[in-house]
Structure 1
């Protein structure tokens, strides 16, 4: 449980620093606010609704006092509005008709189809299921719109035997990518869009035969069922899959919020490395991904999409 507390506090600090929030002059007040958040998480993990409800009013007070001007507004103001709603409508009666708390059972997040390929720096392709921690692959820089190198940190989900429904995208040059409906993809409109919201005629980024990234039009979108799916996490938060630029993230509707939330994993990887060694590690969802999902479902359900 102490690890949960530490990761949650670090994650909160990362989000606030990235947002350049103008917080409180007293760091002890900030620490106290973050401790209320960790208490709420512990209560949720133990299904202790009374502990959660005791924390909501304290968190709301902190939000008004120290975070109301913060630009982590997708995760700041929106989050604390949800907390206020929870306090008013869910405490102590979780079964209230106005309570927006969702079932905390983890939904299948999925990601890319297991038959997908990633691109190595030398131009060769490698099965996405064969990636191991530390492998260098090509990724997408959403600031420069150029190809860059990145390292695999770990797999957020790894399922080779289960079936899933995918959105299969086809571009003008015949490039195809199968990914689940809530997965994010960068578009030429400068935004990340979930696969279920992509439309024929929209432009996404593809790598051509010369190894150059360019925008290309989606010409077809179909639903397909395939066996196996994996969710790689890279240091950049992006990667090139089947020659198409993609985010590593799904379910949360903001690529940048999701990327900030996994900052503790990137720090851990840089300091100590990780040891994902492929299929021999076994199947399932990474514990950190589970934790982030549970936090978001409980505190900020409005940013979760399936």
Structure 2
């Protein structure tokens, strides 16, 4: 792995400029006018819908319950008190228990509170239930561990609750459920869960189609090879692999497998971006980049049929499971066809525009290195690439909270 110290001051300045101005440039297409890239659509959740579409206590959502926490439990000291003035706490018990939760839950509520105020003028987020030890919930309820909250808006306008649930999904809650007409239920993984450390990746046995070697497994792909991708003009072509943003054949990740009516199955991590549409449209403009965990049966993804243009295929099944090995190749065009399904190279950041723009200096250096001998090219590395780590660290400071998934 190359050290960041090898960057020249000029390279660092260019990189910093693009990162810091990213939020102000997000409305401009970084790849020309041929393909319009958009953020995920804001479709409200409907009554009894939950995201992701798996059970709460599974690894694909908030994970297994770790046991009830009472005030005498040593784990109680690890819970935190939420005193956010932008959140209204019901506190019907009168003991402040509705303010007690895990740090991860507190972080997600902070993001959600900002989104609520930005969406509805004069309205705040309201928490009606958080940590609880009164035994009124199901045996394995995550309320007993401070990992779940029940929320409404401060005006108690039930017409807003579907959108409130959608905002909670965007805020990064690991499971969101439009549970009743009177509230939305949200929960998070345990603070100690390794699953929250995985970004946007593919498993080692995922397949890609290369220009010269045909179909190969992801684990056999190398930097410098060209793979089938979606180009800026909306047609399929070959794009060069610039680097691997993450590569580890031993690390275990939580994956979602999305199967289509044409029996194409793509497997990718929950916060990896994939293009979806609610309509059976072949127009690229109809597709938006959304987190894999939000994909629902009935939506459409783009697949490759050995033609120059991708076509839609309806999602028929979504499952989750753990697999060993994580691979995140970055192509020059920021897209890649995996197992015959068109997807993005990016994850964590819920805006492909910003993600693609932020990687521009990296792609430029890769191109320049072909012509200038003293500039070293990126080579195979294990673990998360230093550039990806840097982008995430800077993004936590400068990106708006609804765009970056905070782990």
Q: What TM-score do you get using the length of structure 1 for normalisation?
A: 0.66
Moved over 6 A (4+): 15-19, 99-103
Cα distance between partner residues in 2 of 1:7 and 1:250? 24
- Paired residues for 1:201-280 under 5 Å: 201-208=298-305, 213-273=310-370, 274-277=377-380
**Structure-2 separation of matches of 1:14 and 1:151:** 22
- Distance apart, 1:210 and its partner CA: 5.4
Give, in angstroms, the shift of residue 180 of structure 1: 0.6
Instruction: Name the SS of the counterpart of 1:303 in structure 2.
Output: coil
Quote how far apart the aligned CAs of 1:298 are.
2.7
Query: Which whole-Å CA distance do the structure 1 matches of 2:322 and 2:342 have between them?
Result: 22
- Judged with a 3 Å threshold, the aligned counterparts in structure 2 of structure 1 residues 296 and 7 are, in CA distance, closer, same or farther, namely farther
Structure 2 residues not aligned, in runs of 5+:
29-80, 85-105, 112-190, 278-285, 371-376
> Offset of 1:209 from its aligned partner?
5.1
CA positional deviation for 1:271: 0.4
Residues 10-159 of structure 1 mapped to structure 2, 5 A cutoff: 10-14=14-18, 70-72=24-26, 97-98=83-84, 107-121=197-211, 124-141=214-231, 143-159=232-248
TM superposition shift of 1:247: 0.5
| Distance of aligned partners of 1:73 and 1:229 in 2 relative to their CA distance in 1, 3 Å threshold | same
Structure 1 residues 15 and 284: CA distance shift in structure 2, 3 A: closer
1:198 to 295, 316, 319: 295
CA deviations over 1:255-302 (Å, ceiling 9, x no partner): 11100001110010000152424xxx4x21000000001111233243
Q: Confirm or deny that 1:163 pairs with 2:252.
A: yes
Q: Distance in 2 between matches of 1:287 and 1:122?
A: 29
Separation in structure 2 between the aligned mates of residue 252 and residue 17 of structure 1, nearest angstrom: 15
Please give the alpha-carbon distance, in whole angstroms, between the structure 2 residues aligned to 1:171 and 1:304. 28
Does structure 2 conserve the Cα–Cα contact (< 8 Å) formed by 1:111 and 1:179? yes
Per the alignment, in what secondary structure is the counterpart of residue 361 of structure 2? Answer: helix
Larger of the two Rg values belongs to structure: 2
The 8 Å contact of residues 119 and 125 in structure 1, kept in 2 or not, is answered as yes
- TM-score for the superposition, normalised by structure 2: 0.51
Equivalents in 1 of 2:297, 2:264: separation in Å? 14
Q: Which has the higher helix share?
A: 1
**Distance between the aligned counterparts of 2:263 and 2:316, measured in 1?**
9
**RMSD of equivalent CA atoms:** 3.2
Which blocks of at least 5 consecutive residues in structure 1 are unaligned? Answer: 20-69, 75-94
Q: Indicate how the Cα distance of structure 1 residues 97 and 196 shifts in structure 2: closer, same or farther if over 3 A, else same.
A: same
Structure-2 separation of matches of 1:192 and 1:207 = 17
- Partner of 2:346, secondary structure, is coil
Q: Cα–Cα, structure 1 residues 203 and 73, in superposed 2: closer, same or farther, change >3 Å?
A: closer
